[in-house]
């Protein structure tokens, strides 16, 4: 089926309607004008005919009447032969008289005159290509007296008028077509842009944003479309991330499992070696301490991997957040002091209780505090507070440490992303997972060289996944 654009569908019907009205209206107007004029013309001529008859002028030279009234005269005999005329074209001999009678509609008029109805007999005829209005008057002995008024000037005026009116109609129709084309284009252009954007999104380009700024329904549609594309992109990214995490999780689980046993044997053997008398030399003791330290580091990584790979069920309880803060900060107090970090704690008594797994949240909060501590190697201020929003509560941890670059911010939650020589890169991945298991989320804002703000949000009503 043939496709018509919206613009065509809007513009075409109105254009056709307008064109019909614009053309028909002047034609009808000209016709009415001509008709009225004809009536007036006839009345006037009837007056003349009356005068001519009453005064007996018709008996005079037809040429005189012609010059007095500007009319032509034709006189026919009872056999329809032309007895006399003022018309030049008919004065030469050899005319086709029969044809002339036909053209002058004489037979038909004669019938009419035999049964007069009191009205004047008038016919429109064309002689030599020129239009005339003919007034027929019966004379004695069955002859006719015909008064012909030339109509050419009127026909010419009618033609000119029609021509003018049609020209104006065509001009106005063209103008209206142009204006409606512009209006239609104005309306449909944003739709075309939207369609192009949709096509690009359909081919998988989710970075596409449709640039329409009109303040109307199409503008609203474009805004909704852009929002939808952004959401789609976000959920696709999340899906890819989730898939990656799942794969990393599976790999980590088997990796951690394989490593744990040899690791504990190594630790045991190293500890046993340390007890041996021949290892009592300080040099050997130092080497063994290094070995044990390295084993401890590997063990931390393996534990992190196991946490990350094998999430255990949540043990939810309705409890105050402050429990978590106090427990972890008490554990960290000496460490913080050692690193010359001043702690500012601000727990609002208005913070509502919320459901969470206390061990897991402690683990998450601890990771965040450790990161903050490690970000302030020269010491600094660590602010910990509780935050309350409309339908969620949270813990905010702010440090004035090294901060995070915008580029790194995007990767913080990826497993194994670390900037530290002894880091595992699993801390924040675990924090995120724990909060998400609670139906909450993690927000990190940071300025390089100024510090970082980490918020752990929990919903007031727990959504179980
Ligand atoms: P790890 O601590 O083992 O490196 P994390 O997942 O805990 O792994 O953190 C990932 C990275 O994020 C860190 O290496 C660090 O570069 C950055 N980071 C996290 N928290 C902060 C912070 N408070 N200040 C500066 N950088 C941070
Ligand atoms: Mg960490």
Query: 411: CA distance to ligand 2 center in Å?
Result: 13
Closest residue by Cα to atom 21, ligand 1, is 371
Query: Is any atom of ligand 1 closer than 6 Å to the C-beta of 459?
Result: no
Query: Is any atom of ligand 1 closer than 6 Å to the C-beta of 351?
Result: no
Beta strands at 380-388 and 392-399: parallel, antiparallel or unpaired = antiparallel
Here the tokens at position 203 are 């081919």
**Residue 367 Cα: closest atom of ligand 1:** 7
Query: 418: CA distance to ligand 1 center in Å?
Result: 6
- 177 sits in which H/E element: helix 152-202
Inter-residue contact 319 to 362 (CB < 8 Å): no
Query: Is any atom of ligand 1 closer than 6 Å to the C-beta of 300?
Result: no
**Residue 399 Cα: closest atom of ligand 1:** 23
Three-state SS string over 332-386 comes to: HHHHHHHCCEEEEEECCCCCCCEEECHHHHHHHHHHHHHHHHHCCCCCEEEEEEE
Q: E strands within 58-106?
A: 72-76, 82-85
Q: Ligand 2 is a single-atom ion; what residues have CB below 5 A from it?
A: 371, 427
Domain boundaries, the chain: 6-158, 217-307, 313-459
Query: Is any atom of ligand 1 closer than 6 Å to the C-beta of 455?
Result: no
Question: Which ligand lies nearest to the CA atom of residue 430 in the structure?
Answer: 1
Query: Is any atom of ligand 1 closer than 6 Å to the C-beta of 372?
Result: yes
CA distances, 334 to each of 147, 338, 395 (Å): 134, 6, 21
Cα–Cα distance measured from residue 151 to residue 293, given in angstroms and rounded to the nearest whole number: 124
Question: Which ligand lies nearest to the CA atom of residue 454 in the structure?
Answer: 1
Residues contacting residue 201 through CB under 8 Å, at least 6 positions apart? 208, 229, 232
Query: Is any atom of ligand 1 closer than 6 Å to the C-beta of 369?
Result: no
Question: Which ligand lies nearest to the CA atom of residue 413 in the structure?
Answer: 1
DSSP three-state, residue 392:
strand
Query: Is any atom of ligand 1 closer than 6 Å to the C-beta of 430?
Result: no
Residues contacting residue 128 through CB under 8 Å, at least 6 positions apart? 89
Per CATH, which fold does 6-158 belong to?
Beta-Lactamase (3.30.450)
Q: Is the pTM of this model over 0.85?
A: no
Residue owning tokens 């002028």: 57
**Residue 424 Cα: closest atom of ligand 1:** 3
Question: Which ligand lies nearest to the CA atom of residue 403 in the structure?
Answer: 1
* Closest by Cα among 92, 176, 72 to 133: 72
Inter-residue contact 288 to 296 (CB < 8 Å): no
Query: Is any atom of ligand 1 closer than 6 Å to the C-beta of 357?
Result: no
Residues contacting residue 48 through CB under 8 Å, at least 6 positions apart? 69, 71, 147
- 59 sits in which H/E element: none
Closest residue by Cα to atom 8, ligand 1, is 425
Query: Is any atom of ligand 1 closer than 6 Å to the C-beta of 320?
Result: no
Inter-residue contact 434 to 361 (CB < 8 Å): yes
Q: What is the pLDDT along the chain (465 residues), one digit of tens a residue?
A: 677 888 788 788 888 888 888 888 888 988 898 889 888 888 888 888 888 878 877 777 788 888 888 888 888 888 888 888 888 766 554 455 557 888 888 888 888 877 777 777 888 888 878 888 898 888 877 788 888 988 888 888 888 988 998 898 889 888 988 998 888 888 888 888 999 999 999 998 888 888 888 888 888 999 999 999 999 999 998 888 778 777 877 787 788 888 888 999 999 999 999 898 888 888 889 999 999 999 998 888 888 888 777 767 889 999 999 999 999 999 999 999 999 999 999 998 888 999 999 999 999 999 999 999 999 999 999 999 999 988 899 999 999 999 999 999 999 998 889 999 888 898 999 999 999 999 999 999 999 999 999 999 999 875 444
Task: Using most ligand atoms within 8 A of CB, pick from 428, 454, 456 the residue to mutate for ligand 1.
Answer: 428
Q: Does domain 217-307 have CATH number 3.30.70?
A: no
Termini Cα distance of the chain: 50
Query: 360: CA distance to ligand 1 center in Å?
Result: 19
- At the second CATH level, the architecture of 313-459 is 2-Layer Sandwich (3.30)
Question: Which ligand lies nearest to the CA atom of residue 423 in the structure?
Answer: 1
Query: 400: CA distance to ligand 2 center in Å?
Result: 16
Q: Where are the alpha helices (DSSP H) in 1-61?
A: 6-55
Inter-residue contact 328 to 359 (CB < 8 Å): no
Query: 403: CA distance to ligand 1 center in Å?
Result: 9
């Amino acid at each position: 089926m043939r496709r018509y654009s919206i613009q065509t569908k809007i513009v075409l019907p109105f254009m056709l309607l307008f064109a019909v009205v614009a053309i028909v209206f002047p034609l009808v107007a000209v016709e009415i004008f001509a008709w009225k004029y004809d009536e007036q013309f006839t009345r006037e001529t009837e007056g003349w005919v009356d005068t001519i008859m009453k005064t007996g002028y018709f008996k005079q030279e037809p040429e005189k009447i012609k010059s007095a009234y500007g009319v032509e005269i034709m006189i026919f005999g009872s056999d329809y032969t032309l007895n006399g005329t003022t018309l030049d074209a008919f004065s030469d001999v050899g005319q086709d008289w029969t044809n002339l009678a036909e053209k002058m509609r004489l037979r038909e008029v004669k019938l009419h005159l035999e049964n007069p109805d009191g009205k004047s007999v008038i016919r429109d005829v064309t002689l030599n290509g020129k239009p005339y209005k003919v007034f027929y008057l019966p004379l004695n002995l069955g002859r006719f007296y015909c008064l012909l008024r030339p109509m050419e000037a009127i026909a010419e005026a009618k033609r000119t008028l029609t021509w003018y009116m049609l020209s104006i109609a065509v001009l106005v129709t063209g103008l209206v077509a142009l204006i409606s084309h512009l209006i239609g284009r104005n309306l449909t252009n944003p739709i075309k842009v939207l369609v192009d954007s949709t096509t690009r999104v359909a081919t998988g380009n989710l970075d596409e944003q449709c640039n329409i700024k009109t303040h109307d329904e199409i503008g609203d549609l474009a805004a909704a479309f852009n929002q939808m594309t952004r959401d789609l992109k976000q959920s696709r990214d999340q899906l890819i991330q989730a898939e990656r995490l799942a794969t990393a999780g599976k790999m980590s689980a088997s990796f951690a499992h394989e490593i744990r046993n040899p690791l504990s044997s190594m630790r045991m053997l190293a500890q046993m070696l340390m007890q041996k008398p021949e290892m009592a030399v300080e040099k050997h003791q130092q080497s063994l301490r290094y070995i044990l330290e390295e084993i401890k580091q590997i063990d931390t990584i393996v534990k992190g991997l196991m946490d990350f790979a094998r999430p255990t069920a949540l043990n939810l309880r309705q409890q105050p957040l402050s429990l978590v803060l106090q427990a972890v900060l008490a554990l960290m107090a000496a460490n913080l002091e050692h690193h010359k970090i001043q702690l500012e704690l601000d727990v609002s008594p208005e913070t509502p209780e919320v459901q969470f797994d206390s061990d897991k949240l402690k683990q998450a909060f601890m990771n965040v505090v450790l990161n903050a501590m490690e970000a302030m190697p020269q010491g600094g201020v660590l602010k910990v507070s509780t935050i309350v929003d409309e339908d969620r509560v949270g813990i905010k941890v702010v440090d004035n440490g090294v901060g995070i670059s915008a580029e790194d911010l995007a990767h913080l939650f990826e497993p194994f992303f670390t900037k530290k020589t002894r880091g595992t890169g699993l801390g924040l991945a675990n924090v995120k997972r724990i909060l998400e298991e609670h139906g909450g989320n993690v927000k990190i804002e940071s300025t390089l060289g100024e510090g970082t703000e980490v918020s752990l949000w929990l919903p007031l009503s727990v959504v179980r996944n």
